[in-house]
Amino acid sequence: MANYYQPVIETMPVEQIQKLQSERLVKQVKYVYDNVAFYRDKMDAAGVKPEDIKGIEDLHKLPFINKDDLRDQYPYGLLAVPLSECVRIQSTSGTTGRRVVAFYTQEDIDVWEECCARAIVAAGGTKEDVCHVCYGYGLFTGGPGLNGGSHKVGCLTLPMSSGNTERQLQFMTDLGSTILCCTPSYAANLGEEINARGLRDQIQLKAGIFGAEPWTEEMRRNIENTLGIKAYDIYGLTEISGPGVSFECEEQQGMHIQEDHFIPEIINPDTGEVLPEGEIGELVFTCITKKAFPLLRYRTRDLCYLTRKKCSCGRTHIRMHKPMGRSDDMMVVKGVNVWPSQIEAVLLNKGYEANYQIVVDRIGNNDTIEVQVEKTPQMAEDASFNKAERERSIVAGLKSMLGIKVDVKVVEPKTITRSEGKAVRVIDRRDLYNK
Ligand code: DLL
Domain range annotation of the chain: 1-326, 331-434
Asked if 29 and 52 count as a contact pair (C-beta separation under 8 A), the reply is: no
Q: Choose the residue to mutate in 235, 282, 321 for probing ligand 1, maximizing ligand atoms within 8 Å of C-beta.
A: 235
Q: What is the pLDDT of residue 330?
A: 80
- Give the pLDDT band (50/70/90) at residue 129: very high
Instruction: Give 97's pLDDT tier (boundaries 50, 70, 90).
Output: low
Q: Is 326 exposed, middle or buried (0-12, 13-18, 19+ CB in 10 A)?
A: middle
Indicate the average pLDDT of the chain. Answer: 94
Nearest CA to ligand 1 atom 30: 214
C-alpha 329 – ligand 1 centre gap (Å): 13
How confident is residue 94, by pLDDT bands cut at 50, 70 and 90?
Answer: low
Q: Indicate whether 365 pLDDT > 90.
A: no
Average pLDDT of the segment spanning 275-298: 97
Averaged pLDDT, 16-31: 98
Distance CA 346, CA 393 (A): 10
434 pLDDT above the threshold of 80: no
Q: Does the pLDDT value for residue 2 go beyond 60?
A: no
For residues 187 and 231, is the Cβ–Cβ distance under 8 A? Answer: yes
Atom of ligand 1 minimally distant from the CA of 214: 30
Residue 325: its pLDDT value, please? 77
Is 136 a residue whose pLDDT tops 80?
A: yes
Residue of minimum CA distance from atom 16 in ligand 1: 237
For ligand 1, atom 10, which residue shows the shortest CA distance?
92
Q: Region 416-420: what's the mean pLDDT?
A: 89
Residues with CB under 6 A from ligand 1: 92-93, 135, 141-142, 211-214, 233-238, 242-243, 300, 302, 322-323, 326
Q: Put residue 82 in one of left, alpha, beta given phi > 0 → left and psi -120 to 50 → alpha.
A: beta
Residue ID of nearest Cα to ligand 1 atom 12: 237
**Each residue's pLDDT tens digit, 47-86:** 999 999 999 999 999 999 999 999 899 999 999 999 999 9
The answer, yes or no, to whether residue 290 has pLDDT greater than 90, is yes
Report the relative pairing of strands 242-248 and 306-307 from DSSP bridges: unpaired
Q: Could you tell which of 302, 319, 320 is best to mutate to test the pocket of ligand 1, judged by most ligand atoms within 8 Å of the CB?
A: 302
CA of 75 to the centre of ligand 1 (A): 22
Of 96-105, 136-145, 242-251, the one with minimum mean pLDDT is: 96-105
Cα–Cα distances in angstroms (integers) from residue 182 to residues 136, 324, 430, in the given order: 8, 19, 31
Greater pLDDT, 2 or 84:
84
- The structure's pTM equals 0.91
The Å distance, Cα 142 to ligand 1 centre, comes to: 9
Q: Is the dihedral of CA 12, 16, 19, 23 positive or negative?
A: negative
- pLDDT (average), residues 158-164: 95
CA of 49 to the centre of ligand 1 (A): 33
| For residues 206-214, average pLDDT | 96
- pLDDT at position 90 over 80: yes
**pLDDT of amino acid 5:** 64
Q: Domain 1-326 belongs to what topology?
A: Rossmann fold (3.40.50)
| Ligand 1 atom at shortest distance from the alpha carbon of 93 | 10
Arithmetic mean of pLDDT, 194-210: 97
- Give 432 Cα–ligand 1 centroid separation in angstroms: 26
**Concatenated DSSP letters for 103-165?**
EEEHHHHHHHHHHHHHHHHHTT--TT-EEEE-SPPSSSSHHHHHHHHHHHHTPEEEE--S--H
Cα 408 to averaged position of ligand 1 atoms, centre (Å):
29
The Å distance, Cα 296 to ligand 1 centre, comes to 19
Q: For residue 421, report the distance from its CA to the centre of ligand 1, in Å.
A: 11
β 336-338/319-320 pair status: unpaired
Q: Which atom of ligand 1 is nearest to the CA of 301?
A: 16
> Which ligand 1 atom is the nearest neighbour of the CA of 209?
8
| 435 CA to centre of ligand 1 in angstroms | 27
pLDDT level of residue 93 (50, 70, 90 thresholds): low
Tell me the average pLDDT across 149-163. Answer: 96
C-alpha–C-alpha distance, residues 62 and 297, integer Å: 7
**CATH architecture, domain 331-434:** 2-Layer Sandwich (3.30)
Q: What are phi and psi for residue 172, nearest 5 degrees? A: -60, -40
Work out the average pLDDT over 126-146.
97
Given ligand 1 and candidates 237, 255, 301, 341, which is best to mutate, with the most ligand atoms within 8 Å of its CB? 237
> Percent of the chain having pLDDT more than 90?
87
Residue having the nearest C-alpha atom to atom 4 of ligand 1: 142
pLDDT exceeds 90 at position 435: no
Please report the pLDDT score of residue 433 as a whole number. 61
Quick: pLDDT tens for 370-417. Answer: 999 999 999 999 999 999 999 999 999 999 999 999 999 999 999 999
302 C-alpha to ligand 1 centroid (Å):
9
Cα 302 to Cα 180, 234, 285, 345, 428: the distances in Å are 25, 14, 11, 19, 20
Residue 379 Cα to ligand 1 midpoint, Å, equals 32
Distance 369 CA to ligand 1 centre (A): 26
